[in-house]
Chain A
């Protein structure tokens, strides 16, 4: 089965969902999860073939530099599977009315677009999928249909459209300099054409564009409002999964096309600023949702720092942080759905739902990076990789990351103390519903499993990072020798 189906099926499902739901409401409800499950199966089946050799899909049968090509290596497939699985776990299931059905449609489109982002190997195609992801997430962010959701979403739309237009300018500059859009061919041509100031400018434009979704420092002002105003499932989706796909684009472009050291320095600087601003704002936050939102900005800053380290070591470390955050953040947001609101309101939550409180502690400890939880190993990798680099900037980044750990610990412990503060039984809030708790427990178990199988997991990730960092291999796979213009 071709991995291209992982993009096609959810989109086909989204087009057909309104018709299916009209025929039978039950079928309409089950349709989305069914498609996503099928997607996961296709992804897992493709895994074996892809781990032996990367797969290049020339869409329409046109040879890669001319048409659009999908490049499927283990990194791309891993993210594609993660998208399907993540969206499945965070499926809205909002009910049976027309609005709920529209929400389901948007969620399916989001899954398709994010999968496309993971697989695509064409610069403009990435822009199209990026916009598709953006529009679907606008709809979901505003789906609560109250004033706050509209206002927050509008801010998001304005910033995101601004970023997308800059991305388009960057793509125009790249096309002017090279005359191609295929990432492999760009990688081939970049050393002569894109290593000057023009290439750097194009990189900055594309970075700002993709950075809107990846919660990059100057363009992340929409994050706290949208996450606070949207439903927590949507916040989990955007923070946990979609932001990582935007990150993946930046990483691919850095590895393949923009090789100049200045590009890495820009990323490192913005990453450090992201960690500082995110963690400080989280420390000052007075409600759980926005605390989590700011902490997500900080965590993505750590990832930017990791990916600014050249070579497979940086990729490996960044990948570890990204995957860890992908598991932890959606679960935390799901728990915040019932425990949301001001920190004072959390008092007594542990009495209402001891399991939820326990899960929260587990996830929070891993987020901070307490050994032996996976969060510790992920941050450890970043720190060791950064220390191996020359230059004071990387030393500074290590100091910032370590300081951030202290800040994170201080505000998350504040939350945990609130959870266990005893209150009179009359003031105990609602318990979590079973479905949410099951999803969170599954994600928590994944964390514990990661601790138990740390060594094989690390080796696997190292292999994926090495494959993703293999620039020559990418060019060779997409443009085999003999095909040239």
Chain B
């Protein structure tokens, strides 16, 4: 019975989507604010990558909210899974080749992650993408040596401080720029590494926060005891 009602619901939604799909114009979007931002962003924000101008300038509050969602999900996940028992069983250690590869990967991933983060205002990529790679850098060794201790405490400190840095930069904007999250510092020369004012700083905070949060969350899941299949 319940299934039929649900299928009816799905069919209704499909019909609705079918009806509206006739009304949608592809490639002729109004782009009201998009057009204006494309014109104004190079002068107002000064990042070569306009998407970064939008993410950290025009819609910086969304990014703060997004960071908060990651933080909340990691906090709630930690609350669910709790601390691993002392002496809990864990996966066997990986073989020699994998361990060596993991040791080699760690610095490589770290450098790549940081590179992507600090170039976020110039090229595609940025704090989130780089942060994921940073998380991988800390997580891969954990996969190779499942028994090693993961220092949740220091990661939590990095996480909290990085998030607070984002907000504090925003509050500086409130005090010196008139509004919360207003971009500060000179824009510099477009296209150079030190340009676009506070945007690279914000992206570094985002990258560190995303990296530490995801690494912490995955370590929590990895430390969770396996269920026998």
Tell me if chains A and B make direct contact, with any CB pair below 8 A. Answer: yes
Interface residues of A (CB under 8 A from B): 2, 4, 8, 11-12, 14-19, 22, 57-62, 65-68, 98-99, 102-103, 105-106, 109, 112-113, 116, 124-125, 128-129, 131-132, 135-136, 138-139, 142-143, 145, 150, 173, 175-182, 185, 189, 196-198, 201, 204, 485
Q: In the complex the two chains form, what is the Cα distance from A177 to B20 in whole Å? A: 11
A22 cross-chain contacts in B, Cβ below 8 A: 153, 156-157
Q: In the complex the two chains form, what is the Cα distance from A485 to B36 in whole Å? A: 8
The 5 A-B residue pairs whose C-beta atoms are closest, nearest first, are A139-B76, A179-B30, A15-B163, A179-B32, A128-B65
* New A-B pairs, 14, CB < 8 Å, besides A14-B68, A61-B177: A15-B163, A57-B180, A62-B57, A98-B83, A125-B62, A129-B65, A131-B65, A132-B72, A139-B72, A142-B76, A145-B80, A145-B82, A175-B29, A485-B33
Q: In the complex, what residue of chain A is closest to B44 when comparing beta carbons?
A: A62
Contact call A66/B20, Cβ cutoff below 8 A: no
A19 cross-chain contacts in B, Cβ below 8 A: 156-157, 160-161
Q: Which of B85-93, B95-103, B138-146, B165-173 contacts A (4 or more CB under 8 A)?
A: B165-173
B33 cross-chain contacts in A, Cβ below 8 A: 65-66, 179-182, 185, 485
Query: Is B113 interfacial (CB-CB < 8 Å)?
Result: no
B192 cross-chain contacts in A, Cβ below 8 A: none
Q: In the complex, what residue of chain B is closest to A17 when comparing beta carbons?
A: B160
B123 → chain A closest CB, angstroms = 23
Q: In the complex the two chains form, what is the Cα distance from A68 to B82 in whole Å? A: 37
B36 → chain A closest CB, angstroms = 6
Question: Interface size class for chain B?
Answer: 35 or more
Contact call B78/A61, Cβ cutoff below 8 A: no
Contact call B37/A66, Cβ cutoff below 8 A: yes
Chain B at the A interface: SS class: helix
What are 10 A-B pairs with beta-carbon distances under 8 A?
Answer: A4-B174, A11-B64, A14-B68, A60-B179, A60-B183, A106-B75, A125-B62, A128-B65, A136-B72, A139-B79
List B residues 25-82 near A (Cβ within 8 Å). 25, 29-37, 40, 44, 57-62, 64-66, 68-69, 71-73, 75-76, 78-80, 82
Query: Is B181 interfacial (CB-CB < 8 Å)?
Result: yes
A177 cross-chain contacts in B, Cβ below 8 A: 30
B160 cross-chain contacts in A, Cβ below 8 A: 15-19
A269 → chain B closest CB, angstroms = 14
Contact call A143/B79, Cβ cutoff below 8 A: yes
Contact call A135/B69, Cβ cutoff below 8 A: yes
Contact call A61/B179, Cβ cutoff below 8 A: yes
Contact call A173/B72, Cβ cutoff below 8 A: no
Query: Is B164 interfacial (CB-CB < 8 Å)?
Result: yes
Q: In the complex the two chains form, what is the Cα distance from A66 to B33 in whole Å? A: 6
Interface residues of B (CB under 8 A from A): 16-17, 19-20, 23-25, 29-37, 40, 44, 57-62, 64-66, 68-69, 71-73, 75-76, 78-80, 82-83, 153, 156-157, 159-161, 163-164, 167-168, 170-171, 173-174, 177-183
Q: In the complex the two chains form, what is the Cα distance from A14 to B17 in whole Å? A: 40
Instruction: From B17, B29, B57, B180, name the one whose CB has the most chain A CB atoms within 10 angstroms.
Output: B180
A131 cross-chain contacts in B, Cβ below 8 A: 65, 69
B2 → chain A closest CB, angstroms = 10
Contact call B173/A60, Cβ cutoff below 8 A: yes
Q: In the complex, what residue of chain A is closest to B76 when comparing beta carbons?
A: A139
Contact call B65/A132, Cβ cutoff below 8 A: yes
Q: In the complex, what residue of chain B is closest to A102 when comparing beta carbons?
A: B79
Contact call B20/A197, Cβ cutoff below 8 A: yes
A65 cross-chain contacts in B, Cβ below 8 A: 32-33, 36
A1 → chain B closest CB, angstroms = 10
Q: In the complex the two chains form, what is the Cα distance from A145 to B33 in whole Å? A: 46
B57 cross-chain contacts in A, Cβ below 8 A: 60, 62, 67
Q: In the complex the two chains form, what is the Cα distance from A65 to B59 in whole Å? A: 11
Q: Determine which of A68, A179, A185 lies in contact with B61 in the assembled complex, contact meaning CB atoms within 8 Å.
A: A68
Q: In the complex, what residue of chain B is closest to A208 when comparing beta carbons?
A: B13
Q: In the complex, what residue of chain B is closest to A131 when comparing beta carbons?
A: B69
Contact call A178/B30, Cβ cutoff below 8 A: yes
Contact call A15/B167, Cβ cutoff below 8 A: yes
Contact call A198/B62, Cβ cutoff below 8 A: no
Q: In the complex the two chains form, what is the Cα distance from A485 to B75 in whole Å? A: 43
Contact call B62/A128, Cβ cutoff below 8 A: yes
Contact call B180/A179, Cβ cutoff below 8 A: no
A58 cross-chain contacts in B, Cβ below 8 A: 179
Contact call B181/A12, Cβ cutoff below 8 A: no
Contact call B66/A128, Cβ cutoff below 8 A: yes
Q: In the complex the two chains form, what is the Cα distance from A328 to B151 in whole Å? A: 45
- With A4-B174, A59-B179 as contacts: A109 and B68 at CB distance below 8 Å: yes
- With A15-B160, A135-B72, A198-B23 as contacts: A99 and B31 at CB distance below 8 Å: no
Q: In the complex, what residue of chain A is closest to B79 when comparing beta carbons?
A: A102
Contact call B181/A59, Cβ cutoff below 8 A: yes
A25 → chain B closest CB, angstroms = 15
Q: In the complex, what residue of chain A is closest to B13 when comparing beta carbons?
A: A166
Q: In the complex, what residue of chain A is closest to B71 when comparing beta carbons?
A: A15
B168 cross-chain contacts in A, Cβ below 8 A: 12
Q: In the complex the two chains form, what is the Cα distance from A142 to B72 in whole Å? A: 13
- With A4-B174, A485-B36 as contacts: A62 and B16 at CB distance below 8 Å: no
Contact call B75/A102, Cβ cutoff below 8 A: yes
B73 cross-chain contacts in A, Cβ below 8 A: 135
B173 cross-chain contacts in A, Cβ below 8 A: 60-61
Contact call B156/A8, Cβ cutoff below 8 A: no
Q: In the complex the two chains form, what is the Cα distance from A14 to B57 in whole Å? A: 23
A137 → chain B closest CB, angstroms = 10
Q: In the complex the two chains form, what is the Cα distance from A134 to B111 in whole Å? A: 35
A71 → chain B closest CB, angstroms = 13
Q: In the complex the two chains form, what is the Cα distance from A65 to B36 in whole Å? A: 10
Q: In the complex the two chains form, what is the Cα distance from A4 to B171 in whole Å? A: 10
Q: In the complex the two chains form, what is the Cα distance from A109 to B167 in whole Å? A: 14
Contact call B19/A197, Cβ cutoff below 8 A: yes
- With A68-B58, A142-B80, A201-B16 as contacts: A179 and B34 at CB distance below 8 Å: yes
Q: In the complex the two chains form, what is the Cα distance from A138 to B75 in whole Å? A: 11
- With A60-B58, A61-B177 as contacts: A198 and B20 at CB distance below 8 Å: yes
